Structure 1
Amino acid sequence: MALTWEIVRWILLTIVIINELAAIFTVFREKRDIAATWAWLLVLTLIPVIGFIIYAFLGRKPTHGQLNRIKSQTRLKLKEAVERQKKQFKNMPKPKHYIMQVYRRTVMLFQSIDESFLSRHNHVDVFTDGNVLFSRMFDEIADAKKSIHIEFYTIYNDKIGNHLRTLLEQKAAEGVEVRVLYDSWGSMGVKPSFYANLRELGGYATPFLMARSNIFDFRINYRDHRKIVVIDGQTAYIGGFNIGDQYLGRSPKFGPWRDTHLRVVGGGVYGMERQFIGDWNASVQKKTSVIKHYHPYFPPIKVRNGNTALQTVSSGPEGELEKIKMGYLRLINVATDHIWIQTPYLIPDDSILDALQVAAHAGIDVRIMIPCKPDHPFVYRATQYYARALANQGVTIYTYQKGFLHAKTMMVDGRIASVGSANLDFRSFKLNFEINAFMYDSQLTDQLEQIYVNDIRNCRVMTPERFADQSHWLKFKQRFSRLLSPIL
Structure 2
Amino acid sequence: MINFLNLILLNINIIIKIYIIIRIFLKHKDIKSYVLWYLILYIFPKIGIIIYFIFGEIYAKTQYKSEKAKKIWSHYSILLKKLQEYYGLYTKNIYINKKIQTLFLLCENKQNLSSMTNNSIKLLESSLKLFTSLIKDIKLAKHSIHIVFYIWIPEGLVNKIAKYIILAAKRGVKCYIMLDYIGSKKFFYSYWYQLMIQVGIYIIKSLKITIFNCFLSRIDLRQHKKIILIDNKIAYVGSMNMIDSTCLKKNIKVIKYIDLMVRITGPIVNTISIIYSYDWEIETGKYILSINQLKNNLVKYKNKNKNDINRIQVVFSGLQLSKKIIYNSLITAIFLSKKSLIITTPYLIPSNNLLSAICIASERGVNVKIIISKYNDSIFIYWASKFLFYKLLKSGVKIYQLKKGFLHTKSIIIDKKISFIGTVNLDIRSIYLNFEINLIIDDIIFNKSLLCLQNKYILKSQKLKYNLWIKRPYWKKIIEKLFFLFKFIL
User: TM exceeds 0.5?
Assistant: yes
User: 2 CA distance for matches of 1:481 and 1:320?
Assistant: 30
User: 2 CA distance for matches of 1:298 and 1:456?
Assistant: 43
User: 2 CA distance for matches of 1:350 and 1:167?
Assistant: 46
Contact 2:339-2:415 within 8 A present in 1 as well: yes
Aligned residue in 2 for 1:239: 238
Aligned residue in 1 for 2:226: 227
Alignment of 1:168-317 (within 5 A): 168-191=165-188, 194-209=192-207, 211=208, 213=210, 217=214, 221-246=220-245, 248=246, 250-253=248-251, 254-284=254-284, 289-291=286-288, 293-300=290-297, 302=300, 308-316=310-318
Choose which of 24, 30, 34 in structure 1 pairs with 2:30. 34
Contact 1:182-1:207 within 8 A present in 2 as well: yes
User: 2 CA distance for matches of 1:429 and 1:86?
Assistant: 30
Contact 1:155-1:242 within 8 A present in 2 as well: yes
In the TM superposition, residue 322 of structure 1 has moved relative to its aligned partner by 1.2
Query: Structure 2 vs 1, CA of residues 27 and 116 (structure 1 numbering), >3 Å: closer, same or farther?
Result: same
User: 1 CA distance for matches of 2:29 and 2:159?
Assistant: 41
Computed over aligned residues only, the root mean square deviation of the Cα atoms, in angstroms, reads 3.3
The one-letter code sitting in structure 2 at the alignment partner of 1:154 is I
1:241-294 CA-partner distances (Å, limit 9, x unpaired): 001233x57442312211121111111211211110000011116xxx532653
Contact 2:384-2:483 within 8 A present in 1 as well: yes
Query: Structure 2 vs 1, CA of residues 65 and 132 (structure 1 numbering), >3 Å: closer, same or farther?
Result: same
1:413-472 CA-partner distances (Å, limit 9, x unpaired): 111001000011111111111100001122211211111111111111112223213222
The one-letter code sitting in structure 2 at the alignment partner of 1:136 is S
Alignment of 1:62-101 (within 5 A): 63-73=62-72, 74-76=75-77, 77-80=79-82, 89=92, 100-101=97-98
Q: Secondary structure at the match of 1:119?
A: coil
Question: Which range moved further: 68-77 or 133-142?
Answer: 68-77
In the TM superposition, residue 300 of structure 1 has moved relative to its aligned partner by 2.1
User: 2 CA distance for matches of 1:243 and 1:215?
Assistant: 29
User: 2 CA distance for matches of 1:317 and 1:37?
Assistant: 24
Does residue 44 of the first structure (1) align with residue 45 of the second (2)?
no
1:138-182 CA-partner distances (Å, limit 9, x unpaired): 221122110000011111233344333332222111110000011
The one-letter code sitting in structure 2 at the alignment partner of 1:273 is S
User: 2 CA distance for matches of 1:357 and 1:146?
Assistant: 48
Aligned residue in 1 for 2:422: 420
Aligned residues: 470
Q: Secondary structure at the match of 1:169?
A: helix
Alignment of 1:113-192 (within 5 A): 113-191=110-188
Gaps of 5+ in 2: 1-6
Aligned residue in 1 for 2:466: 464
The one-letter code sitting in structure 1 at the alignment partner of 2:76 is R
Gaps of 5+ in 1: 1-9
Percent identity over the alignment is 27
Contact 2:187-2:193 within 8 A present in 1 as well: no
Contact 1:172-1:202 within 8 A present in 2 as well: yes
Contact 2:222-2:434 within 8 A present in 1 as well: yes
Aligned residue in 2 for 1:7: none
Query: Structure 2 vs 1, CA of residues 160 and 44 (structure 1 numbering), >3 Å: closer, same or farther?
Result: farther
Contact 2:91-2:116 within 8 A present in 1 as well: no
Query: Structure 2 vs 1, CA of residues 459 and 105 (structure 1 numbering), >3 Å: closer, same or farther?
Result: same
Query: Structure 2 vs 1, CA of residues 20 and 102 (structure 1 numbering), >3 Å: closer, same or farther?
Result: same
Contact 1:427-1:487 within 8 A present in 2 as well: no
Query: Structure 2 vs 1, CA of residues 221 and 467 (structure 1 numbering), >3 Å: closer, same or farther?
Result: farther
User: 2 CA distance for matches of 1:105 and 1:376?
Assistant: 36
- Normalised TM-score (structure 1): 0.87
Aligned residue in 1 for 2:3: none
- Normalised TM-score (structure 2): 0.86
1:348-376 CA-partner distances (Å, limit 9, x unpaired): 11221121111111111011111111212
